[in-house]
Amino acid sequence: MSNVVIAFGSLAAMLVLIYAGMHVAITLGLLSFVGVWLIRGDVEVAANLLAQAASDAIASHIFGVVPLFVLTGFLVAHADVGKDAFEVANQAFRRIRGGLGIATVAANAVFAAITGISIASAAVFTRVAVPQMLRFGYQPKFAVGVVAGSSVLGMLIPPSLLMILYGFLADQSVGDLFTAGIVPGLLLALAFAVTIVLMAHLRPGMVYLARQDDGVPDEPPMPLGRMLAKMVPIVLLIGSVLGGIYAGLFTATEAGAVGALMALLIAVVRRKLTLAGFWSVLTETGHVTVSVSFLIICANIYTRMLAMSGTPQAMLELMAAAGLGVVGFLLIYVVVILLLGTIIDSSSILLIMLPLMLPIAEQFGLNLIWFGVVTVVAVEVGLLTPPFGLSVYVIKSTLGETLDIRLGDIFRGTAPFTLCMLAVLGLLMVFPQIALVLLKGTP
């Protein structure tokens, strides 16, 4: 049995084991161990590789960025910053048909610029935005669809946990990835807003339960002073985290520490965080951090196994023999990611695909920062597509018994936003400068 056959066999076995319910990290570690054992014919070599990767994979201090940004996200959620962002956005767009939907997108974009976690956005705005939209006569299916769709902005607009993970796996600058995500993130938010306005005017039945004459919520305007007061914590958080990175004052890891400190101070000043709540936040942060770290370690092991087998070079030669150039490679890559998104979560897709595809992308001379943005957008589509659709399940779980809406209805509500994401993904693939325009000196 050739080494390449062993590697491809591990890929097939991986999909089977994951779909059968085995944890992705355990699957990666197990198959890497068996793969190296078969390639080298020595169980001790495989065991030594496992041990070495476990000690080396996350030894660098830069991996501290993961728990710090996760902690920031949980603290921000406790401090009701997402609720404030929605209330301010609601005031800004209250005179537009479909304004509450646009407000949800805008608030999610702001929340994304603080936390970088899509699942947190989905949970927060299910509690904040959905009741408001139902109160003013919006379709339940539309309300949950807007929340699910706009929640994906959390993984594109920096800081983004997926981009941090991609940066580790691809050995790319996290700061450059954050910068590259700004324009595509804003473009996607704009596409969502335009879609909502078009639906409200052209297909009002998809947006409202009954015909709306103006779509304006019947509530008094918020005083300017109160709006500014609600914006202060948001501006402080975004300015301290992203402003510090782009101004070169500190690294992404240090920015995570600053963001966590600012979020903690805001939560304490607002008296939103009890000792029990703080312990809960620390515990949740630990759970997420350990899970992500374990995934990174096992992905590192799997990358070494694939490199040892020579599979990336074999795939490149196969594509060249088949006449597939850069365009063919990109199309195959994106389609496979979209298909994987229907059965497994975002982080797992990165950990499975990148060890195999990054060497090929490098051989084709692709810009790996742009490649990362394309990857993240494609992966995030999976948060909205059945049957896995993690954001949809988070929304359903958060709603509980408060709204009788089926999973199928939530998936149908997300369909216009999924199409928007695919359109933006296509634009990014055709026009790489959309992602690279803010990066100085990028070829």
Which residue type is seen at 13?
Answer: A
More confident residue, 186 or 391: 186
Q: Count the domains in the chain.
A: 1
CB 215 within 8 Å of CB 204: no
Mean pLDDT (whole number) for 58-68: 71
**Cα separation, 172 vs 435, whole angstroms:** 15
Q: Is residue 443 part of a domain?
A: no
Q: Is residue 8 part of a domain?
A: yes
Q: Quick check: bond before 223 cis, omega within 30?
A: no
Residue whose pair of structure tokens reads 């196969």 in the numeric block: 318
Using one digit for the tens of pLDDT, what is the confidence trace for 251-276? 777 888 888 898 899 888 888 888 88
Q: Is residue 377 part of a domain?
A: yes
Q: Is 91 exposed, middle or buried (0-12, 13-18, 19+ CB in 10 A)?
A: buried
Q: Is residue 429 part of a domain?
A: yes
Q: Is residue 441 part of a domain?
A: no
* b/e sequence 372-410, b meaning 16+ C-beta within 10 Å: bbbbbbbbbbbbbbeebbbbbbbbbebbeeebebeeebb
**Cα separation, 200 vs 361, whole angstroms:** 42
Using one digit for the tens of pLDDT, what is the confidence trace for 216-261? 555 667 787 888 888 888 888 888 877 787 777 877 778 888 888 9
Instruction: Render 118-140 in DSSP notation, one character per residue.
Output: HHHHHHHHHHHHHHHHHHTTB-H
Using one digit for the tens of pLDDT, what is the confidence trace for 93-122? 877 888 888 988 988 888 877 776 777 778
Using one digit for the tens of pLDDT, what is the confidence trace for 406-442? 878 888 889 999 999 999 999 999 999 999 998 865 5
Q: Is residue 52 part of a domain?
A: yes
CB 76 within 8 Å of CB 123: no
pTM here is: 0.78
Q: Is residue 442 part of a domain?
A: no
Q: Is residue 418 part of a domain?
A: yes
- Residue 197: its pLDDT value, please? 92
- Residue 213: its pLDDT value, please? 46
- The set of residues, in sequence order, having a beta carbon less than 8 Å from that of 222 and lying 6+ positions away, is 87, 88, 91
Question: Which range marks the domain in which residue 320 is found?
Answer: 3-436
